[in-house]
Chains A and B, each alone.
Chain A
Amino acid sequence: MSDAESMMHGGFVSALDLPDVPSSKLPHHLDLRRTRVLCNSVAPDNTDTVQYSGAYASMGVDNSLRLDDFRNNFKVNVNRLTADEMEFDMVGVDPSLANAFRRILLAELPTMAIEKVFIANNTSVIQDEVLAHRLGLVPIIVDPRHFDYLSENDRPNEKNTIVFKLHVRCKKGDPRGTVKSDELRWLPKGSEFLKESGASASNTKAETYTSFNFSQDSMPEFSDNPIGVSPGIIVAKLAPGQEIELEAHAVKGIGKTHAKWSPVATCWYRMLPEVVLNEDIKGDMAEELVKKCPASVFDIEELANGKKRATVARPRACTLCRECVRDDEWERRISLCRVKDHFIFTIESVGALPPEVLFTEAVKILEDKCERVISDLS
């Protein structure tokens, strides 16, 4: 029975099945709500994302994500890349994924940081515990992938511990001195402090606080680039006659345990701002609009007849301060939006790894998490 026949017989045919209704396409106003956050003068509107695959089923639109579609739509564009900072655009990805990458970068990527400090002498005004805390926050410039975690029962060895020595003194008669992180000396052979317990019992070789099997500088990755720390950080100040002598042991850890292990100074993303002029803004009004915007998003273009018209020249500079839509009549003229699936991602590394490596490592960690769930389920 054809459709026409079924209609004649009182059967039901959805309007969407009629040939002149375009299928698999959302009407414009719904598509706008799906893809844009609207920044009205009162508050941002429509901030949620529609994830459910059947959200638009009644309109005959499939909201599910096919992997091929994802592959076709996903784009990365690098805007800026230096040794310790990068900015890139990530397009065609859900906020939940972008946020997962950000969270992993902040809290779940391992680095090395000073965890134990053995203080032999500290006559400075900085208390031992404060000094130890300050040392812990000094970034160590080393690839953490060369090291293992130190678990509770492990002896500290060359695969899980980096030892630094700090011995500074301010002589009597000298001016007050500043101790900077540069003075931390790497000890590739491990600890030099002897353990005190049972010295008489063993007359074999004296035991130190680490048990290195071989020197770290014989390892190929460190033989020609010694492990150092981020230079120029003030650790303590010394008055004449004061002295600090200590040993600092760095181990591998993640930012979730303590922020000192976080490999990024910070890492954030923002959605791409979109500024649309709903009508032509000309003459004095154009001048007014350019003046309104503190981020200088707008420019004036000269028209052929000597008139002026406002244009959106730098939408990326928009901070969504909403200064331009504060007045009622202006809110009509300008729409401020954010594109929901376009993220401007910035990573500031503290130096252990370059930012582009940090991001790939973060994605790998999310993959590992999925793999763990799969193996747990099967």
Chain B
Amino acid sequence: MEHASFGDERNATFCITEEDHTLANSLRFALNQDPRVMFCGYSIPHPSDAKVNIRVQTTGEPAREVLKDSCQDLMLMCQHVRGSFDKAIAEFKRNNSSRNYGRNPIAKEDNTNRKLSEAKDCLSKQLHTLPKFNNHNQNRQ
């Protein structure tokens, strides 16, 4: 997995197979936010190969440990995202418990009603402008 270390632990390139921008870009973000990282970047050498190379250069710590810590950070961030999301959903469901948003959503009906009224508004506006236009033509004649 790791290559191009050549005895210098601070700089390394890691090759992760079966991954793409999804993980590599998030990892680059996590690595960049670590003050121990001097440089990091990633590349996908060929679009047909399912692999990414992640380059990590640190100020002194072994690159491998820094990458591991960044993965850990990213995981903790994800866990927090999941936790807050679940909380927000639970709160939304509690506040809207009068509405049935289960398999037969009323909220969806509301949406269609809203769209209907919008369409009506739009139509009435158009009708409003129509006679003006006709008058204009008559005046010209």
Q: Contacts A108-B22, A377-B67, A378-B68: A78 and B35 contacting too (C-beta < 8 A)?
A: no
Check A76 against B33 for contact (C-beta < 8 Å): no
Check A83 against B101 for contact (C-beta < 8 Å): yes
What is the bound-complex CA distance between A77 and B85, given in angstroms?
Answer: 8
Residues of A within 8 A of B28 (CB): 51, 96
Q: Contacts A74-B80, A83-B105, A369-B19: A96 and B25 contacting too (C-beta < 8 A)?
A: yes
A-B contact count (CB 8 A): 134
What is the bound-complex CA distance between A100 and B29, given in angstroms?
Answer: 11
**Which residue of the partner chain A has the closest CB to B37?**
A53
Question: Shortest Cβ distance from B77 into chain A, in angstroms?
Answer: 6
Interface presence of A99 (CB below 8 A): yes
Interface presence of A209 (CB below 8 A): no
**Which residue of the partner chain B has the closest CB to A366?**
B78
**Which residue of the partner chain A has the closest CB to B89?**
A356
Interface presence of B3 (CB below 8 A): no
Check B1 against A370 for contact (C-beta < 8 Å): no
Question: Shortest Cβ distance from A71 into chain B, in angstroms?
Answer: 5
Identify A74's interface contact among B35, B37, B84, CB under 8 A: B84
- One digit per residue, 1 when the CB lies within 8 angstroms of any chain A CB and 0 when it does not, for chain B 57-86 equals 000000010011001111111111110111
Interface presence of A21 (CB below 8 A): no
**Which residue of the partner chain B has the closest CB to A376?**
B1
Q: Contacts A51-B32, A62-B35, A374-B71: A366 and B92 contacting too (C-beta < 8 A)?
A: no
Question: Shortest Cβ distance from B138 into chain A, in angstroms?
Answer: 25
Residues of A within 8 A of B29 (CB): 51, 94, 96-97
Question: Shortest Cβ distance from B64 into chain A, in angstroms?
Answer: 6
Check A67 against B88 for contact (C-beta < 8 Å): no
Q: Which of A267-275, A279-287, A357-365 is the interface stretch?
A: A357-365
What is the bound-complex CA distance between A378 and B62, given in angstroms?
Answer: 13
Interface presence of B117 (CB below 8 A): no
Residues of B within 8 A of A222 (CB): none
Check A82 against B107 for contact (C-beta < 8 Å): yes
Check B84 against A103 for contact (C-beta < 8 Å): no
Question: Shortest Cβ distance from A57 into chain B, in angstroms?
Answer: 9
Check A374 against B72 for contact (C-beta < 8 Å): yes
What is the bound-complex CA distance between A176 and B67, given in angstroms?
Answer: 64
Interface presence of A135 (CB below 8 A): no
Identify A83's interface contact among B76, B85, B87, B103, CB under 8 A: B103
Question: Shortest Cβ distance from B11 into chain A, in angstroms?
Answer: 16
Interface presence of A52 (CB below 8 A): yes
Interface presence of B16 (CB below 8 A): yes
Interface presence of B49 (CB below 8 A): no
Check A78 against B88 for contact (C-beta < 8 Å): yes
Check A67 against B68 for contact (C-beta < 8 Å): no
* 8 Å CB interface, A9-40 against B: none
Identify B85's interface contact among A62, A360, A371, A377, CB under 8 A: A360
Check A373 against B81 for contact (C-beta < 8 Å): no
Check A367 against B75 for contact (C-beta < 8 Å): yes
Interface presence of A42 (CB below 8 A): no
Question: Shortest Cβ distance from A176 into chain B, in angstroms?
Answer: 31
What is the bound-complex CA distance between A100 and B75, given in angstroms?
Answer: 13
Q: Contacts A71-B80, A363-B85, A377-B67: A100 and B26 contacting too (C-beta < 8 A)?
A: yes
What is the bound-complex CA distance between A62 and B72, given in angstroms?
Answer: 21
- One digit per residue, 1 when the CB lies within 8 angstroms of any chain B CB and 0 when it does not, for chain A 58-78 equals 000011110100110011111
Check B33 against A64 for contact (C-beta < 8 Å): yes
Residues of A within 8 A of B2 (CB): 377
**Which residue of the partner chain B has the closest CB to A94?**
B29
| B→A interface (CB under 8 Å) | 1-2, 14, 16, 19, 21-23, 25-29, 32-35, 37, 64, 67-68, 71-82, 84-89, 91-93, 96, 101-105, 107-108, 111
| A→B interface (CB under 8 Å) | 51-54, 62-65, 67, 70-71, 74-78, 80-85, 88, 90, 93-94, 96-97, 99-100, 103-104, 108, 356, 359-360, 363-364, 366-367, 369-371, 373-374, 376-378
A-B contact pairs, 13 of them (CB 8 A): A62-B35, A74-B84, A76-B81, A78-B89, A78-B92, A96-B25, A96-B28, A97-B77, A360-B82, A360-B85, A364-B82, A370-B74, A377-B64
Q: A64-B33, A67-B77, A364-B78 are in contact. List 18 more A-B contacts (CB 8 A).
A: A51-B32, A52-B32, A53-B33, A53-B34, A53-B37, A74-B81, A77-B88, A83-B103, A97-B29, A100-B25, A366-B74, A369-B19, A369-B22, A369-B23, A371-B75, A373-B16, A373-B27, A373-B71
| For the complex of A and B, 3 pairs with smallest distance between CB atoms | A65-B33, A51-B32, A78-B92
